[in-house]
């Protein structure tokens, strides 16, 4: 089963005292979370790692009761909702017919596009009518179990596994590259290039070309025209670094497909269609709007750093607006509150992140109602070549 190598997050939600913490304990067969008959024992989301076969490592998030009361209760509910943004899948624990609290949770899951199941706890207390009600009225998986007496726990685990979508493997190169095709990779060697080595997307592109029995040719942007003149036939594809895309586009004949490593990464690691949709927000930016520039790793900024210097300059020149730029870096995704009021998130290509990590970042940002784009898509757009850079990918719809 292709679930990838990254940990999935499973949110356990519900009202107070329905047995959320007891459920986590029963699944893990350990007394991990504190349980009590007193409502509101769980005050903050509790994160617990567990090896759930056959998918491997997952993290269960035991959330505070969504019906908590008072000012402190409101804070707990807010923290519970923040945990929802991280969810790959979710479980709504109930022990009675639904009321406004269950309706609220289900709407949150549906609005955030989180796959979930409804689990009726305390099935050993004659809850079959409750199970049937949910089955008859909701178009999601419904099951009964008992956390206290560990009834149907193995079935519970299987249902969680069934919820987790398999990770689709997507190659870096376009699918139409075949044996004997020539792929030219334009690799600038400048201050941003790591000394003595290539960056990860360049390495992967070369390896994928060879795996396809195609021919990989690497050159610098200054030698590209000379390189193309050497060929008897035009190459099947030219891939360039985003920062050189304008010069490369002028040197590559229109009939030759052209894209950038960062656009390849946008498709390989993330959701290219969502990132293309996000770039259109650029034309709606106003003075004092906050734009967050986010990177998946931490590095020492260079004098002409792409994230902290070049993109802010290009974006300011393009929009003519006085924008408020905020910079966030590192593999740990920021608290959703750090993204509040942002009009646009601009993310790096994610070469140090897994596909699941990048997809979770995109999903979290869009769940917050914030458009997101990546470096390559934005740079190609700002330089007027995005439509051409997307031509190798027929599945992506772009309308200027």
pLDDT of residue 350: 82
Gap between the Cα atoms of 116 and 105, Å rounded: 10
Mean pLDDT (10-residue bins), the chain, 400 residues: 60 91 88 48 73 84 78 69 83 94 91 91 92 95 93 93 80 91 90 68 93 95 94 94 90 95 88 93 97 82 77 96 93 77 92 79 88 93 92 70
User: What residue ranges define each of the domains in the chain, with the CATH number in brackets?
Assistant: 8-163 (3.40.50.300), 182-265 (3.40.50.11420), 274-387 (3.40.50.11410)
Collect all residues with Cβ–Cβ distance below 8 Å to 34 and sequence separation of at least 6.
21, 41, 42
HSE-up of residue 132 (Cα within 13 Å, Cβ side): 4
Gap between the Cα atoms of 89 and 126, Å rounded: 28
Gap between the Cα atoms of 182 and 80, Å rounded: 52
Q: Tokens in use for 182?
A: 């020539």
pLDDT of residue 42: 46
pLDDT of residue 299: 61
C-alpha torsion angle, residues 118, 121, 125, 129 (rounded to 10): -10
For residue 42, CA distances in Å to 12, 28, 57, 121 come to: 12, 17, 23, 17
Gap between the Cα atoms of 195 and 189, Å rounded: 9
Phi and psi at residue 290, to the nearest 5°: -90, 125
pLDDT of residue 34: 44
pLDDT of residue 200: 84
Whether the CB-CB separation of 33 and 83 falls below 8 Å is answered with no
Gap between the Cα atoms of 33 and 159, Å rounded: 22
Gap between the Cα atoms of 205 and 18, Å rounded: 51
Phi and psi at residue 151, to the nearest 5°: -95, 130
pLDDT of residue 39: 46
Query: Pick from 110, 383, 74, 400: which is nearest to 258 by CA?
Result: 383
pLDDT of residue 16: 87
Collect all residues with Cβ–Cβ distance below 8 Å to 53 and sequence separation of at least 6.
161
């Amino acid at each position: 089963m292709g679930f990838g190598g990254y940990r999935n997050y499973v949110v356990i939600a519900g009202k107070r005292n329905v047995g959320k913490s007891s459920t986590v304990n029963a699944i893990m067969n350990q007394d991990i979370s504190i349980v009590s008959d007193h409502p509101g024992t769980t005050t903050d989301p509790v994160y617990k790692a567990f090896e759930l076969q056959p998918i491997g490592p997952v993290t269960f998030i035991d959330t505070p009761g969504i019906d908590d009361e008072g000012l402190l209760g409101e804070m707990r509910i807010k923290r519970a909702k923040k945990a929802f943004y991280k969810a790959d899948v979710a479980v709504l624990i109930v022990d009675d017919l639904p009321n406004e609290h269950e309706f609220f949770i289900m709407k949150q899951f549906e609005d955030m596009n989180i796959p979930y199941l409804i689990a009726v706890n305390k099935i050993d207390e004659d809850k079959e009518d409750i199970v049937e009600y949910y089955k008859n009225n909701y178009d999601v998986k419904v099951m009964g179990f008992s956390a206290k007496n560990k009834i149907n726990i193995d079935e519970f685990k299987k249902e969680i596994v069934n919820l987790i979508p398999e990770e689709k493997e997507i190659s870096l190169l376009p699918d139409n590259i075949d044996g004997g095709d020539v792929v030219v990779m334009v690799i600038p060697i400048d201050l941003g290039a790591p000394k003595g080595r290539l960056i990860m997307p360049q390495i992967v592109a070369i390896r994928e070309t060879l795996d396809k029995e195609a021919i990989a040719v690497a050159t610098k942007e200054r030698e590209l025209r000379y390189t193309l003149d050497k060929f008897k036939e035009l190459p099947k594809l030219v891939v360039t670094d985003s920062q050189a895309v304008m010069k490369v586009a002028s040197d590559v004949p229109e009939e030759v497909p052209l894209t950038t490593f960062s656009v390849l990464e946008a498709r390989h690691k993330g959701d290219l269609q969502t990132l293309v949709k996000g770039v259109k927000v650029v034309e709606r930016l106003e003075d004092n709007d906050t734009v967050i520039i986010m990177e998946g790793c931490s590095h020492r900024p260079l004098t002409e750093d792409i994230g902290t210097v070049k993109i802010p300059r290009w974006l300011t020149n393009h929009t003519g607006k006085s924008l408020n730029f905020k910079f966030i870096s590192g593999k740990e995704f920021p608290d959703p509150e750090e993204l509040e009021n942002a009009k646009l998130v601009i993310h790096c290509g994610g070469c140090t992140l897994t596909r699941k990590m990048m997809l979770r970042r995109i999903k979290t940002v869009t769940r917050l109602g914030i458009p997101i784009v990546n470096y390559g898509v934005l740079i190609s757009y700002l330089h007027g070549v995005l439509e051409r850079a997307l031509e190798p990918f027929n599945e992506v719809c772009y309308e200027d």
